[in-house]
Structure 1
């Protein structure tokens, strides 16, 4: 049947080509992708064992070692959103009955605990109020008391905007024989992360925040010790055969998220596991390449400058910053919604009138704070100043007495000398 032969009623129901509206995504993520990442995703496809494809995978692994700051060869991509990476790490590292300790300081600590429970771990949690982080001594006390096999800890939790210090945690875990995993989805690329120096055994992320790409690929790294644990897990067939009971066998209960099989796929033999998501591989490769070209520390510095400018701007506007500012991620700030301002309506006005998206939050912070991000491609002067100018207009509309131009001027002052981090590559 040709297009001319399709009934008019059916033709009328067929949507046109995808054509998203122009947006400036200044929330907690996702954010606008680097233009070069979008171009990379439009590159032609090749077969999964084409020499170009396998070489692109090898290049991607090398680039991500640089991003993670590790020499470990076990740097791979998990096809899926950042949550796919989290699940792959936890389901592959946790044996049924293992004790897992999860310090929770925001929504995503609860997520780690849930996934660990689904992996049949004995999960123990400690909590601190939202807006604060844990002292290393508090974590060590819990490690001594619980005696876990694995510590699972979020580095940056966008629900609270807090950044948990990790530098001392690896040494604590090593001293007590504990595997150390961190979810760096919200923080990697925009804040310091030193996998080897900090003693990480496993870490995962997603592209859609500081890394400046789309959601859909989850970079993951494993230490040599973590690889040994993963390799020590039985395959499902062997587990059933040896234990006679699939509920008690020590096998990875997911095929798709079995890191032993994924490592074989990304290893020199390229053993078939799944068909790699080619366009997302291109995106992940380009995200890491952008960081390498600009310089890893330069990218972190650019995020720090943009975050400091936004922080100065919202403070000068008269907004109250939520949480412990000393432990805030550089790439997102949470501000208290002023009394009398309908938070969701104000956010909608930012979107419809200015094409700018900012975020609300979850749980106890829903409707209490806005979260404003400065990350990836949007960690740049014009994005910061434009957002602050639009926010001032919207606040005035709802009766907030804002000093005219104060937010923009305070942010611009930090950029006035054109210092490091003033701009975005890609």
Structure 2
């Protein structure tokens, strides 16, 4: 074995992406003890910074130590009791993930499905809520498997009318697309760092409404052996995970600092730097930047004589799906891009596996040179594979997007 020396990849897939240099630098900062006032001060700063990221005033805004899936699991396992009804609208791979985690937590899971490449209308979700009367609605905002962005603006009001907890996983979309936790009346949100926030996977910021916190606090002090009419014993009410027990984690992050785990200090440094960089740029500017470079990439792939996937009215700013031409081996193209140009683009899952590529423009890689370099490499790779295209048109069309923005 030797010193770590990975190749200089340009990660232009659906995530993870290359980290902002400042985030990498922050991760190399020396550790301090978890109860050192310097460390608890950084924790307080992280809570404040992520209130900005989520557009919320929620006190309960903090980090779950683990990947974005850890945040999902913590939110769902902590609020779902065995036998609860949970509604999951599925429009891609990650809706299926929310359904699976909810089922493992003991929920009666109900799903409705939209074709991959489409999203749900509010009335479809309301009709399902009226029928099922769930305790929780779990809904992905941006699903990178399809590149679609589910509108959330009207869903919170529906959930409020029917007394449903509204949870969204916004890992793929936060920071590059509009997100309004309070305005849209969300009760719980979880994300990861490895997309538009420009960090590594390994920390999951979450924010929780007072309603959500009150719901999970009711389970906190249930003792084993307590009987009630709904459960054979008190274990039925207890949160089924110690590590993902949100009331305990809230106590760790709160003023009492009750020991629950040892905070992942280097990941907290990374999460802090991601949010600090976003605040310095401003949410509005970050969203506009992701839209600009996403629009340029979309124009560019169309200039390559490639067809974008899905309903473009609901495409995320930060990733585009591209139909693989029938006469092209999609994996051969990805292999050449990776090993000849050091550029990674993504494949997809489920019914889209082998049918589309997914090309991201997010975080540190939402910039002009990354877009143009990727389009030039993809053009040459496709041309050599026999795909018919007009040389130079892809970058010309991307440049047109940039020129129109400047004007």
Scaled to the shorter chain, the TM-score interval is over 0.9
Q: Aligned-pair distance for 1:417?
A: 5.5
The alpha-carbon deviation at position 180 of structure 1 amounts to 0.1
The reply on whether 1:94 has 2:75 as its aligned counterpart is no
**1:373 CA drift (Å):** 0.2
SS at match of 2:321: strand
State the superposition RMSD in angstroms: 1.2
Q: Which residue of structure 1 lines up, in the alignment, with residue 367 of structure 2?
A: 380
Matches within 5 A, 1:305-384: 305-384=292-371
Report if the CA contact (8 A) 2:64-2:71 is conserved.
yes
CA distance in 2, matches of 1:97, 1:193: 31
In the alignment, which residue of structure 2 is the partner of 1:103? 89
Report the TM-score, using the length of structure 1 for normalisation: 0.93
Residue in 1 that maps onto 2:160? 174
Where structure 2 has 5 or more consecutive residues not aligned to the other structure, the ranges are none
CA offsets per residue over residues 49-102 of structure 1, 9 Å max, x none? 111100000000000000000001100100000000000000011111110000
Counterpart of 1:251 in structure 2 is 238
Distance in 2, matches of 1:158 and 1:84, equals: 18
Deviations 1:342-395 (A, max 9, x none): 111110100111100000000110000000000000001000010000000010
1:14-413 matches, within 5 Å, as 15-235=1-221, 238-243=222-227, 249-413=236-400
By how many angstroms is 1:241 displaced? 3.0
TM norm structure 2:
0.98
Contact 2:199 2:271 in 1 (8 A): yes
Report the 3-state secondary structure (helix = DSSP H, G, I; strand = E; otherwise coil) of the residue aligned with 1:242.
Answer: coil
- 3-state secondary structure, aligned to 2:86: strand
Provide the C-alpha distance between the structure 2 equivalents of 1:194 and 1:278, rounded to a whole number of angstroms. Answer: 28
Contact 2:220–2:247, Cα closer than 8 Å, also in 1: no
Alpha carbons 2:81, 2:236 under 8 Å: kept: no
* Matched residue SS, 1:416: helix
Distance 2:199 2:399 in 1: 27
